[in-house]
Amino acid sequence: MPAKSKSVKRQLGEYLAAQRPPAITEALWNDLLERFAPVSESYLRELLRATGLPFDQPYAGIRQHSFEELEQSLREMLQVYAEAMAAGNRQRARYCRRQVIGAKDRARFQARSPRTAPEKKARKEEMAQWMLVWLENPEVFPAWVEARLRVAPPPNPSR
């Protein structure tokens, strides 16, 4: 059990330095959630992304700093989702959907914030639309995004 006097960030750093995992796998993800409870998944994910270690989906979540990251994340999540559905693993499929829903909600929150610059508002609204398409019918997303990019490139695609 980790010492409560140290921050989760510091404890995680020490744990990863000692264990030296090659990647963030499902088993490691679950172990870290339990080890550092009651840490939020989003905070743990943020800390783990900063390590640069490869990160298995669906635990990597949806990256949305750029449209390229968003598309890659959604395609990766689709693969995990489709495999889960084919295997009858409804719990894992629901987890995939929850990750996309959470990312969509964050994008919408940023788009609606009065502090957000107009260019970023437009990007986040578009990103939320991409995620809505994924949520409506994940299998259609790859074809939809290819058509969407041909017809209308995303607004100011850089960060």
- The answer on 71 and 45 residing in a single domain is no
* 139 is a domain residue: yes
* 57 is a domain residue: no
Q: Give the residue numbers spanning the domain of 40.
A: 8-49
Residues 114-145 have pLDDT tens digits of 999 999 999 999 999 999 999 999 999 999 99
pLDDT given for residue 6 in this prediction? 86
Pick from 30, 57, 58, 33: nearest CA to 43: 33
* 110 is a domain residue: yes
Number of domains in the chain: 2
- The answer on 79 and 125 residing in a single domain is yes
Tokens of 114: 């009065």
Residues 71-120 have pLDDT tens digits of 999 999 999 999 999 999 999 999 999 999 999 999 999 999 999 999 99
* 113 is a domain residue: yes
Q: Which 3 state secondary structure label does DSSP give 118?
A: helix
* 159 is a domain residue: no
